[in-house]
Structure 1
């Protein structure tokens, strides 16, 4: 009888879980695993279920009935949930469990609540048993990292329309009434207000509204959490006194100078009587870099010498580094870098065209590889070529020699502007890459119909082409020709898929990662060769097989994925994995260049924190899933 009652409870739990995501997508045995091990706990109204003071999280909580209120235990915690109330089927403490830390939030029963509680050991076992649950948890953690920068990404998207400059007075920058508290306000009151109003700082003022202190997000950990300061203490006990102030008539340059001189991130704008009128943050000044972006673009377009372009190219790099430091996403940054690099390249081409006359000739400058995919990082060399039309009245050899001479000057100028000459000579000055449209089509046909190893390697480079200057219709014609030829040659696609499978994700059976792929970099993973390449190679095969014209990896995955009926959540997970690898590359290259070294792609997993290691592992698993699809499609 007891066994029968237990089975009834387990069955009831299974039925409940299968009505809510992600449990409705999980394997039956995985859901049963939860039902057999979770305990149903009761909490009366007002009871605290979980909080930071309880120490490292010990269980996964799944609300069975009732409502749970999420109260921010720190101003950083408000990014974890978009809603402040959780209901049946919703789980919490995932982030704390994955990071093996106390919960950043407090969870309180708004009414009588029942929760299924799964012990942490069983939680981690479940992440290994269930791919769907593992993906859900990883996406949750990735979401925590991404949500904190979403607002900045929105601001970056809006910057093109910004009209302010660094000469703007502070009155033009301050857009909201300042929020301030008196010195006797408790830490709890201040933190809850900051979380509720999405504030990065709180100003402390006296009775005359004169600023006497400031408290910021960065103070939470070092002044409250680590010392264990009670939340009922006055804010004056943990604030920074004597905050930096400027009159409203001062400008953004003045604010930036004060921040740099005093090592602070906020400057307070005050009126003539010294009363608080606004708060200027580093992010407010960063938004003004929209003007810097326009100035860089204008400087490039108006450049009359390579020297000017060299300065502009340095500005592009610096602005991209600023974006990275501010948390802008990898996809946005790589497209930003590629777009402004395109602008520099076009201007160099235009300057050199002043000494070369190609009037009456249809031609185009092509980019290949990462530039052709709009995926350039901080460290990139040249991959380019020329396509031209040779009519019956033209001397083909003489025309090619003219283009090669022109291309050599462009390649050299690009090198001066920070785009190193390609060691593999994949440049327009190479006669093999300065061809007529018919010759390019013939070259593509040869690679497709004779897919030997070198031809497959060429396909991974040259099939990701994009026009930068000249007659774009030539590139379009070449693209249609390429798609037409690949559509009629399944053997080539099979060989290209096999080539994509020649490199496996660096995941080990007995350890998290395989880090011995390059003996010159022990303990590291080449995130280009063993990371992003896995995604770009698979996306290329998918795109060519489904006649998708896009070259960008994310666009290819989205468009081909829809045509292949791949679930949208699986496509999104692949894109998230790809973008995370790109982000690690960008961050690593940033650090390398800060140290005066040429940026590479070798990252040590030991240098990552626990959450980043888990997401990296999941990114490689997503690459493995793409490769598994290739194996199925082409029976490899």
Structure 2
């Protein structure tokens, strides 16, 4: 006899992740064991601190509110609607519920046994990955320190469970590393290194690596006279060593070297220090083996003689970005690498342009990257935003000096355009006389924007305040920065206007958890991830850092990290903003690569349920940071 109820449940679940990746047998097993529960409005499914049930829940109809009780206040954290999973985290972590689940309307739930799910996880890796992201985004305990690691679709957790890194090219390492025993003298080790023409030597004991000495150790510890060359190698060796198994990939090696600030990795039979040494992987090996390595690209840039080479390297950089995204490399690592290459391309374009000029620059100057490049957050190829500042000159030399720099800027922007960076539609480039100014003119310009904060002036500030010196004299830029903060300190109400601008875009979700999309125009019904999700976080970081006179950092994550030092009481909120920013930036980048565009506007119909969950999990900090700004700067009185 057919199980009609199970079939109906089957038909419902198959459209929602992670059930959509199950085979028919697995899904039918779940469907046949589901308990159908009716929940009246205002009734609890479970309460905070309650021991976990034997099942987690999927919303069939209705809506379930997730509430957190904090200091006798019941806070609505999230609303789960059709197809959403909740109540899973305690079952996975063997912990009590950290919040209450209460129906906000009459609801029907499917209760699914966690034991059946565990059986399926063992044979279905896709389900495992989704559930990690799913319960991380659904269980959004507001800034609870003990649960912080699970607040978002945590990159480290997902990465640890992702086999993608092992699918890319395996690094080729030296299979005959030079080694010695710990009783060898430093002098003997140095002679061995010199004879074998190697830059490092491993110290082994019972065939296991216990330490390493490099040329750097010899320079810093021996050549300086700090330690006698007659001492044993154990006196200066770096220990313990960092070890990996044979199948280490180039990406894993790069991350490990950056994380541990080292240039060599030991390869052992089982990947641990207590295993036989079989090889050594150096930073040099990676550069040689991986032609798309950032170090190689930057070296190629330094040797570049024409724009065609710059364009070629820019295209290789795009391929590098795609590879990093596919490998699930941390977005901060990706941003740093891509930003350094972009800056190197710009520097070379400037150097080539100066060579084309009839004379060298008449005075000191600085080339400034603005916007996302200025914040070192430009991953996808976008249009140019730049400016130029030159040293003050006598009045009689001003026109001649400005004419020179305008001509130079025009050549530079033309080269960048040929490389692939399109001209700014709003002409916010150094080739525009408005943005090619002397130091005094820039000081006056910023002071005018600050003391006369019109709508246009505030918009300019959001662009020009995020500048970064790419080429030229740092002292000029330091003087600009000092002048800006002086103007702000003398006209503090400017921060209120800047704060009002930060709230132009409301939180990305409506009350019923619907994405706020464009109402008209070319991108009607699409989600603007830049304006709705990225810019609110960027604007908040800029505003708060300016209010604390925090200088030297324009990057959003770095700004929040500095803000945490002066506002430790809000640490959890700011860390949540950092995590949200990382995830949204990665998401935009993924969409841009997928659709071969800027990734700004997203057709929600193309997203999977899990992708929507992933995004929604990042939106609460946006609302909370905007609420905080509203109160801190009395913005409700200015609206």
TM-score tier by shorter-chain length is 0.5 to 0.7
Equivalent in the alignment of 2:581: 578
Counterpart-to-counterpart distance in 2, 1:479 and 1:566 = 28
Output one character per residue of 1:83-122: Cα deviation in whole Å (capped at 9) or x when no partner.
xxx5x76989x9xx99989676479xxxxxxxxxxxxxxx
Q: Of residues 414, 417, 420 in structure 2, which corresponds to 1:418?
A: 420
Report if aligned partners of 1:331, 1:579 keep a CA contact under 8 Å in 2: yes
Does structure 1 residue 551 correspond to structure 2 residue 554? yes
Equivalent in the alignment of 2:293: 292
Equivalent in the alignment of 2:142: 132
The structural deviation recorded for 1:558 is: 1.9
The structural deviation recorded for 1:468 is: 0.5
* Cα distance change of structure 1 residues 609 and 26 upon mapping to structure 2, 3 Å threshold: farther
Counterpart-to-counterpart distance in 1, 2:327 and 2:289 = 13
Equivalent in the alignment of 2:622: 623
Counterpart-to-counterpart distance in 2, 1:61 and 1:332 = 29
Equivalent in the alignment of 1:177: none
The structural deviation recorded for 1:504 is: 0.9
3-state DSSP of counterpart to 1:503: coil
* Cα distance change of structure 1 residues 373 and 101 upon mapping to structure 2, 3 Å threshold: farther
Does structure 1 residue 455 correspond to structure 2 residue 457? yes
The structural deviation recorded for 1:505 is: 1.8
Report if aligned partners of 1:517, 1:525 keep a CA contact under 8 Å in 2: no
3-state DSSP of counterpart to 2:368: strand
Output one character per residue of 1:30-52: Cα deviation in whole Å (capped at 9) or x when no partner.
59x9xxxxxxxxxxxxxxxxxxx
Does structure 1 residue 609 correspond to structure 2 residue 608? yes
Counterpart-to-counterpart distance in 1, 2:158 and 2:87 = 25
Does structure 1 residue 476 correspond to structure 2 residue 475? no
Report if aligned partners of 2:85, 2:138 keep a CA contact under 8 Å in 1: no
User: For 1:162-561, what aligned pairs fall within 5 Å after superposition?
Assistant: 168=172, 289=290, 292-356=293-357, 357-359=359-361, 361-392=363-394, 395-549=397-551, 550-561=553-564
Moved more, 423-432 or 504-513: 504-513
Equivalent in the alignment of 2:5: none
The structural deviation recorded for 1:539 is: 1.1
The structural deviation recorded for 1:405 is: 0.6
* Cα distance change of structure 1 residues 13 and 496 upon mapping to structure 2, 3 Å threshold: closer
3-state DSSP of counterpart to 2:293: helix
3-state DSSP of counterpart to 1:385: strand
Report if aligned partners of 1:23, 1:133 keep a CA contact under 8 Å in 2: no
Report if aligned partners of 2:369, 2:385 keep a CA contact under 8 Å in 1: yes
TM-score normalised according to structure 1 size:
0.61
Q: How many equivalent pairs are there?
A: 442
For structure 1, the 5+ residue unaligned runs are 1-11, 34-55, 64-79, 108-122, 157-163, 174-247, 253-277, 279-283
Counterpart-to-counterpart distance in 1, 2:494 and 2:70 = 37
The structural deviation recorded for 1:604 is: 2.9
Counterpart-to-counterpart distance in 1, 2:471 and 2:111 = 49
Output one character per residue of 1:371-391: Cα deviation in whole Å (capped at 9) or x when no partner.
111110213111111101123
Counterpart-to-counterpart distance in 2, 1:387 and 1:554 = 27
TM-score normalised according to structure 2 size:
0.60
Counterpart-to-counterpart distance in 1, 2:455 and 2:436 = 23
Report if aligned partners of 1:428, 1:434 keep a CA contact under 8 Å in 2: yes
Superposed CA RMSD in Å reads 4.5
Equivalent in the alignment of 2:565: 562
Output one character per residue of 1:606-634: Cα deviation in whole Å (capped at 9) or x when no partner.
43333432332232221111111111111
Q: Of residues 147, 152, 155 in structure 2, which corresponds to 1:142?
A: 152
Counterpart-to-counterpart distance in 2, 1:105 and 1:287 = 44
Equivalent in the alignment of 1:599: 598
Report if aligned partners of 1:138, 1:614 keep a CA contact under 8 Å in 2: no
Moved more, 482-491 or 413-422: 482-491
Counterpart-to-counterpart distance in 1, 2:110 and 2:401 = 62
